[in-house]
Amino acid sequence: MTSNRDIFRIIVFAALILSTFAFSQNRKQELETRRQELRREIQKISELQAETKSKAQSELSLIEDFNYKITVLNNLIKITNQQANYLTREINANQKKITSLRAELKQLKEDYAAMVVKSYKSKNKQSKVMFLLSSTDFKQAYKRLQYIKQYANHQKQQGETIKAKTVELQNTNQDLLKQREEKERLISENRVTQRTLEATKKQHESLMQSIKKNMSRYTAQIKAKQQEADRIDREIEKIIKAAIARSNKRVGKSESSTSFALTAEEKILASNFVANKGKLPWPVEKGYVKLRYGNQPHPINRSLTIKSNGVRIATEKGAQVRTVFSGEVIGVITLKNVNPLVMVRHGNYITTYKNLSKVYVKEGDKVNTKQVIGEVATNRATNESVLSFVVSKESDTQDPAAWIYKM
């Protein structure tokens, strides 16, 4: 007799199998979703790079593009390999299942054949009647009648089981065929990706060899570019400090404070901004990140450090710039030899949109999520359109990838 403890163990075991299966299916779906995202990313890179082919890109910019494309291609190969490995495990499991089902089906058919033979030998009504009449008493006759019924039901049930197992075996064989086809497709795609990666690496290496011949000139360009970025960042910091001073003066607090004095409405706005962390829309509809947030070695001269307070997004010519959340414009800045930038305040958070060719808002304007505030500038010499985007809490910059959806 099965005890309560045995029943509990069976339930726990079944639950573990189901949860493992569910986890495996979810993991497979996650990998496929990520693989498709990476394929779209490569497509975006190819499309946007095609726009710049009409004019000579700078070597610095090309190196950035190659580095990013190599990273994405490596990630795609890695994800596809993981998918293929999952399929290999599933194929092996299905092959074992098919072997087990065939053995089980063979035994069921043998048992069923034996039953049919036995039933045939005693199928005439007279033998069944004699079997009942030879009973010593009513009780034995009743039991023999029940046995005849049970035997007939068991024979029928055995036939149904054989049908069900046959269907299960057919379905498993079909699943196995699909898995093998899918695995072969993934392997074939990975071969193409690998060839693209190798070609991109060769282009990267060839360009680096050319650059190394004039490393001093490129190093000077890199330093000048970083100095310009630092100058813009200092101006942004001045705007933020001025906005904090105005905010504090309005409520009678110290103007030297480094934090915004928020009204009840601004507190709600800041809270909503934080609640949408990781879900904010991209500041442009189409693009990819060329330069990520934080201090990082320069891809050409690794002894130099890039200080990136935000991200640089390569996009299409004439791309519209959109606010990532509702707020108030606290600055529209135009510096010498620098394209305009717009700063939007969201409570005590600020988003900054740099390198605009056109600006459609002015200081003090209220803006909504995804409202177009300008257009990205296109470099006439290189034909590149790149938006610089910054997220900060007061004057402290933060990684935009943590705020923007799937950045």
Query: Average pLDDT by consecutive 10-residue portion of the chain (407 residues)?
Result: 57 54 70 87 79 62 84 92 88 84 79 66 52 65 65 67 79 85 91 94 89 84 87 89 86 78 92 98 94 89 88 94 97 90 96 97 97 95 90 96 94
The DSSP call for residue 58 is P
Residue whose structure tokens are 């100095």: 227
CA angle, residues 328, 332, 337, in degrees to nearest 5 = 160
Model-wide pTM > 0.85: no
Using alpha carbons, list the distances in angstroms from residue 78 to 167, 182, 259, 341: 37, 17, 44, 38
Q: What is the pLDDT of residue 11?
A: 62
Q: What is the pLDDT of residue 13?
A: 53
229-402: what CATH class? Answer: mainly beta
In DSSP notation, 97-129 reads HHHHHHHHHHHHHHHHHHHHHHHHHT-SHHHHH
Q: Where are the alpha helices (DSSP H) in 213-332?
A: 215-250, 264-275
What are the domain boundaries of the chain?
Answer: 4-212, 229-402
In whole angstroms, what is the distance from residue 313 CA to residue 354 CA?
10
Mark 311-346 as b/e (b = at least 16 C-beta within 10 Å): bbbbbbeebbbbbbbbbbbbbbbeeeebbbbbbbbb
In whole angstroms, what is the distance from residue 182 CA to residue 107 CA?
33
Is residue 148 a contact partner of residue 128, using CB atoms and an 8 Å limit? yes
